[in-house]
Structure 1
Amino acid sequence: MELKEVLELLEQLVPLSLAESWDNVGLLVEPSRSHPVRAILLTNDLTDAVMKEAETISCDLIISYHPPLFRPIKRLVQKDWKQRLAIQAVEAGIAIFSPHTSWDNVKGGVNDWLVGGLGSGQVSVLSQALDVASHSHKLEFMVRSAEELNAVIEELNACDGGTALQHSISRPDSSGIHVSVICSDLSLTPSVQTLLRHTSPSQSLSILKLEKPPLLGHGQGRVCVLDQPITVVEAIQKMKSHLSLSHIRLALGLGQTLESSVCTVAACAGSGASVLNGAKANLYITGEMSHHEVLDAVAKGTSVILTDHSNSERGFLGVIRERLAVRLPDSVTVMVSKADRDPLEVV
């Protein structure tokens, strides 16, 4: 299976447009030598140990949840460990792809999987994703005749990359024909410039900014009202089992005990304090929070479970492996890295 085909499948599975604007997702390393993808290695982080594993199994594509290349770079040198890994990948003919926050935000993604470890319930998104591909402005104007209307619409379509704009026409009256056109951010300026070249539209033009529609079920973080309330100690046991961990960290909320009831839980994989802040829940679950962020939550009566950053994410790799396996041909093997692990451990 060609790399391009695998990337198309990944996009169908989880669109990269769901990633946060600050993130660096997608194909990060593309070897010059084109060859079929026969082995895919899934990892939470691309480290030296994971790269050695990838080379040992003759991997063609590494899907690294965290992007190994994040900040802009001006050179590729051996002294920087992330750049060194990128160079190794190119030399070995291994492509590197990172989905990061697109996997967090998608419905059925990392955060749904994480909060699902406590049981079933009514799940909602903490910070709703918006449809960035939708049209964002409405242009309202008037034309004097059907001939002028046809000419203006033809020019506006050219401004929008040749795609037909959404437009509506109200019944003509003594002042002319009323027209509404929906356009994107990119086509707004050329569309306005076009209308200003026509007398009637330029004199009657008004511009309205439209709200982007929400993508229901997609976005940052999750809050779940559990079908069956559990105690704090039961939540601890469930999360240890769900994440395959022998230890997690707990901060009890003010006035709470291990036997206190947990009816509502808010979760965000990785470093989730900014997403969880303000969420009304009995329990927060995330990978890491600062000392003062934990104190803030505790003071409000909310207990906090911290798993360490990548431990809140890594288990989802097995879910993705299954989803890819049923969509890829038998000629492609998908493996979860055995060398990938959280750098921190309890000693």
Structure 2
Amino acid sequence: MKIHELLQHLEAVAPPRYQESYDNAGLIVGDAGRELTGVLLCLDSTEAVVAEAAELGCNLIVAHHPIVFRGLKRLTGSTYVERVVMEAIRRDIAIYAAHTNLDNVFHQGVNAKIGEKLGLLNTRILSAKAVLKQLSFTAPAEEWPELEGALQEAGAEAVWQSAAGSGQQATDKRLHGTTIFPEGVETAVRRILEQTSCAEIRGVHSLENKAATVGSGLIGQLREPLEEADFLQQLKERMQAGCVRHTALLGKPVQTVAVCGGAGGFLLPAAIAQGADVFVTADYKYHEFFDADGRIVIADIGHYESEQYTIELLKEIISEKFRNFAVHCTKVSTNPVQYL
């Protein structure tokens, strides 16, 4: 199996087009055309992780965080980023990052995994991102099954049909089709239709609502309400947090919980607007805690702690298709933050 075959599966779950504009998700180091010998999963690519991959015989590292976030101007080994890249190249190990594109998908995403660990029910995206578009088209009836499958594989959320040309012979029958999809996949949808024999695009327009499967954060309900202190203790245990920094308790039960792995402070207004009792995230600064303003409890569990189960998530995603392949989870703790 080639490296690119595994990466194609990852990108079918977390398409690169869903990453934020500032991100650098994707293949960062290496040749995707090489034969895959093994994969090592981690949150961060470090020198120790590269050495671990080499020892295990893995020539692919799949990390959550991109080792190269901004452009590299030189490779002298003067920074840890340069050393990691140089060592990976020297050992012929590819490095791939599934970052905000994995954050921004609802199914099998980073926040869905956090919600699973906390036992949240009735979950949904906290802040939807992708604008939905609707496209109408006509196509020969005999092309429909293959066309429908191709559109869904490209990311269309819905495809339906209605018969057209009732006076025509069955062999000439055309179908009116409509598909709804996130705007980011419009090029792929158009390409499929243009490559389908005798298919014709009739019109496309944006919808007011947004895709329910793409966006930031997650919100859901606990099975049973908990007292705030009890919830925070449970949160600390389930997320294996060294500490939980939180705002003042409000003296009311916790039922609705919003979460965002990593730095999620930008989602606080959405969490409040949607009635969350607690907002679980990381990387809050001192003055930002004041923004709770008695309306919600902010719980900062740490960046690494909030995303550590992404390694488990990546293994699940890979193993669902490549069950008999060697997939290793790093034994190296890459958390740069220590607690007394």
TM-score class normalised by the smaller sequence: 0.7 to 0.9
- Contact in 1 for aligned 2:246/2:298 (Cα 8 Å): yes
Distance 2:82 2:54 in 1: 17
The TM-score normalised by the length of structure 2 is 0.74
Tell me the SS of whatever aligns to 2:129: strand
Q: Structure 1 residue 216 and structure 2 residue 209: aligned?
A: no
Deviation at 1:16, TM superposition (A): 1.8
Distance 2:323 2:312 in 1: 18
In the other structure, the counterpart of 1:36 is 35
Distance 1:21 1:334 in 2: 30
In the other structure, the counterpart of 2:285 is 290
Q: Structure 1 residue 271 and structure 2 residue 263: aligned?
A: yes
Deviation at 1:261, TM superposition (A): 0.6
In the other structure, the counterpart of 1:129 is 129
Distance 2:286 2:331 in 1: 32
- Contact in 2 for aligned 1:240/1:248 (Cα 8 Å): yes
Deviation at 1:211, TM superposition (A): 4.6
The TM-score normalised by the length of structure 1 is 0.73
Aligned-partner residue type, residue 279 of structure 2:
Y
Aligned-partner residue type, residue 296 of structure 1:
D
In the other structure, the counterpart of 2:153 is none
Tell me the SS of whatever aligns to 2:101: helix
Aligned-partner residue type, residue 295 of structure 2:
G
Deviation at 1:161, TM superposition (A): 7.1
Aligned-partner residue type, residue 114 of structure 2:
L
Tell me which of 287, 302, 305 is aligned to 1:311: 305
Unaligned runs of 5+ in 1: 137-159, 169-180, 183-208
In the other structure, the counterpart of 1:110 is 110
In the other structure, the counterpart of 1:261 is 253
In the other structure, the counterpart of 1:63 is 62
Q: Check 1:240–1:161 CA distance in 2 against 1; reply closer, same or farther (3 A cut).
A: closer
Aligned-partner residue type, residue 268 of structure 2:
L
- Contact in 2 for aligned 1:44/1:340 (Cα 8 Å): no
Aligned-partner residue type, residue 284 of structure 1:
F
Aligned-partner residue type, residue 312 of structure 2:
G
In the other structure, the counterpart of 1:302 is 296
Unaligned runs of 5+ in 2: 136-189
Q: Check 1:63–1:131 CA distance in 2 against 1; reply closer, same or farther (3 A cut).
A: farther
Distance 1:243 1:263 in 2: 18
- Contact in 2 for aligned 1:128/1:219 (Cα 8 Å): yes
Distance 2:308 2:82 in 1: 23
C-alpha root-mean-square deviation of aligned residues, in Å? 2.7
Partner deviation per Cα, 1:267-322 (whole Å, 9 max, x = no partner): 1110110122342221110022111111111x233112111111100112113213
- Contact in 2 for aligned 1:118/1:235 (Cα 8 Å): no
Q: How does 1:1-347 map to 2 (within 5 A)?
A: 1-31=1-31, 35-108=34-107, 109-130=109-130, 164=194, 167-168=201-202, 181-182=203-204, 210-211=206-207, 214-253=210-249, 256-257=250-251, 260-280=252-272, 281-297=276-292, 299-330=293-324, 332-347=325-340
Deviation at 1:50, TM superposition (A): 1.6
Tell me the SS of whatever aligns to 2:271: coil
Quick check: which has more Rg, 1 or 2? 1
Aligned-partner residue type, residue 59 of structure 2:
D
- Contact in 2 for aligned 1:221/1:276 (Cα 8 Å): no
In the other structure, the counterpart of 1:154 is none
- Contact in 1 for aligned 2:10/2:317 (Cα 8 Å): no
Aligned-partner residue type, residue 85 of structure 1:
V
